Chains A and B, each alone.
Chain A
Amino acid sequence: MRKKTFAITAIALLGLVVPASAGAKTLIGSGSVAMQPVLQALFAQYTKLTHGKVKFVYTANGGNAGVKDVQNGASQFAGQARTPLPSDAGTTYIKMFLDGLCIDVNPKNKLANISVQQVHDIYRGLITNWGDIPGSGLTTTIDPVGRDTNGGTYNFFLQAVLNNELPSSNVNALTSDGLVANAVKQDPNAIGYDGLAWQGKGQKALKLNGVPCTASKISVEPLKYPLSRYLFLVVPNAGVSPTLQKFIDWARTSPEAAPTILKAGGVPAFNKKAKR
């Protein structure tokens, strides 16, 4: 009995020790939840690319907490979805890739284009009927859905569309982007907002001020799509380890990182085109 226990423990220990002893470096990061899916995909690809020599640990504790972690040295880098503030002293923001919020309606809705002002009015409770929005082919009451106060999507929408005014009480605030997509899919009268990763699954993305919500439009400088933003990696001014710098350069500019970013819901901004 005891021998067996020993053997199992030894094997388990071996499993823990062997990969770590092969000269692997671990990069520790924390921060933005909105950035997490893309970062995790990039991490996985990079670890594979380096044959396990570089590993990542990322805690999605929110962008502001992540920057604090970088300031006090607990993290080597942080994900951040907002632009720098004075309180971020001692850190450098690096633009990594872009993110866009699409405005979605149910496929039964004939609407193709909407203005930011109209979206604002809908979410502030000033327009409540599809009849007041020309082109929808509906005369029913609008069911606006959005996110609750948790997470970057809500904050981004609040800043970019609602000018930091609270959404009206007829906006149903759901707990995740997936639930928003689901609500729009199931309700012909609904309108909702979520990221690129959620598009094309039973909901229809509208053109916003005439610009379609597609990856190719979001990444064109100057940012023509009204709801696009950069996502940043925040590093300490004091210096970045060569391993981290290499990863950042790879994720930002290499052609092979681009499809990974796209697939995980982001939009590559600086990645070079793959050579054919």
Chain B
Amino acid sequence: MEAGYLPEYGPRVSDQRAERMLGALVCAVVVLLLALIATVFVRAWPSFAHNGLAWFGAGGNVDEQINLIYLSGLGSEPDVYTFHAWQLLWSTFLITGGAVLLALFSSLFVSVFLVEFAPQWMSDVLQPVVRFLASVPSVIYGLLGVLVIVPFIGNHLVTEPQKASVAGVISLSGYSLLAAVLILTVMIAPLMTSIFSDGLRSVRPGWLEGSLALGVNRWRTTWKIAVRTARPAIVAGTVLAVARAIGEAVMLAMVSGSVAFAPNPADGLIFVFEPSRPLAPTIVKNIDLLGSKPANSTLFAIAAVLLLSAATFSLAGWAARRSMSKYGATA
């Protein structure tokens, strides 16, 4: 605001009151956030301290480790903290990565179509639908998975020889990487689509018209000018989607399978049918163990890793957006 507009006697008391109230609220939120982060990390510390970097490594069965940790906290013996989270981390990486990749491609094409090619009436109808889909609670997707997708995969896609080949180690009953990735994609794609479309819509019409006037065809104009200009929005949407995918717990706890198993791409086709359990559902599934001190610390350590990775992604997204924003359109 220009200085000349300010009245010389300064803002009125009531204005100051509003300012201070809002300022205090913001401070309270920041303090709460810091307290939350501090609590999580303080509680998580014993687990990290006992394991060091091996926390993130492979070794042994996570479920057995959690059980030993839990039992050690009930008796009078010294607490056990040995925990190697590799299976959980790998599962989180596979499911989140797969879903984000699939959703990125599909949402990009859907939003390009919605903004640049769809007739007006169609985008008028689809836009609210996409926004609605983005806000559907995840447990509903979980139910859909458990009632439709999981039994379909288990009864129709997995064959008996495949099941027999891993009998006793894991069950290929439909609770699988494939189910988790598919449903997670459906869950995050609307979120990405709605942010991508906002980005594409904010591209300056003059740039597109200029390109068209030069005789560049519509597809090339869209791809080279609109999509390129909207890259900050695409990054922002992807980062939001990654954050939601990493933190998704309820739906994945229902469909991804429940064993701490690291699906192995070397297993061939059955790789996608193998069950696994990412980080967030591990907390949900073991919430009853919080009463044991070492188990409590271990679950908080998982929470700390989730918190940290979400923060890293939002920072990386911010950095990427900043370097791209010189092209114009913003998220």
Q: Do A and B bind each other?
A: yes
Taking CB atoms, residues of chain B closer than 8 Å to A182 are 146-147
How large, as a class, is the contact surface on chain A? 20 to 34
Does A187 contact B147, Cβ atoms closer than 8 Å? no
Does B175 contact A172, Cβ atoms closer than 8 Å? yes
The contact of B169 among A170, A174, A188, by CB within 8 Å, is A170
* Of B24-32, B223-231, B279-287, the one with at least 4 CB within 8 A of chain A: B279-287
Taking CB atoms, residues of chain B closer than 8 Å to A151 are 288
The contact of B171 among A65, A144, A150, by CB within 8 Å, is A144
Which applies to chain A's interface (DSSP): helix, strand, loop or mixed? Answer: loop
How large, as a class, is the contact surface on chain B? 35 or more
Taking CB atoms, residues of chain A closer than 8 Å to B201 are none
Residue in B closest to A189 when the chains form the complex, CB atoms: B173
> For the complex, is A194 an interface residue (Cβ under 8 Å from B)?
no
Residue-wise interface mask of A (137-180) relative to B, using a CB-CB cutoff of 8 A (1 in contact, 0 not):
00011111100111100000000000000101111111100010
The contact of B275 among A126, A172, A188, by CB within 8 Å, is A172
Taking CB atoms, residues of chain A closer than 8 Å to B174 are 187
Does A149 contact B167, Cβ atoms closer than 8 Å? no
Residue-wise interface mask of A (226-261) relative to B, using a CB-CB cutoff of 8 A (1 in contact, 0 not):
000000000000000000000000000000000000
B167, chain A: closest CB distance, angstroms:
4
* Of B2-10, B42-50, B105-113, B257-265, the one with at least 4 CB within 8 A of chain A: B257-265
Residue in A closest to B250 when the chains form the complex, CB atoms: A175
Taking CB atoms, residues of chain B closer than 8 Å to A129 are 164, 167
Q: Which of B250-302 contact A (CB under 8 A)?
A: 253-254, 257-261, 275, 284-289, 291
* A–B pairs, 24, beta carbons within 8 Å: A128-B168, A142-B167, A143-B154, A143-B163, A148-B285, A150-B288, A166-B63, A168-B168, A169-B259, A169-B261, A170-B170, A172-B173, A172-B257, A172-B259, A173-B258, A173-B259, A173-B285, A174-B254, A179-B146, A183-B173, A186-B154, A186-B155, A189-B173, A190-B173
Known: A129-B164, A166-B63. 5 other contacts (CB 8 A): A143-B171, A170-B170, A179-B254, A186-B147, A187-B173
Interface residue ranges, A against B (CB under 8 Å): 62, 64-65, 125-126, 128-129, 140-145, 148-151, 166, 168-175, 179, 182-183, 186-190
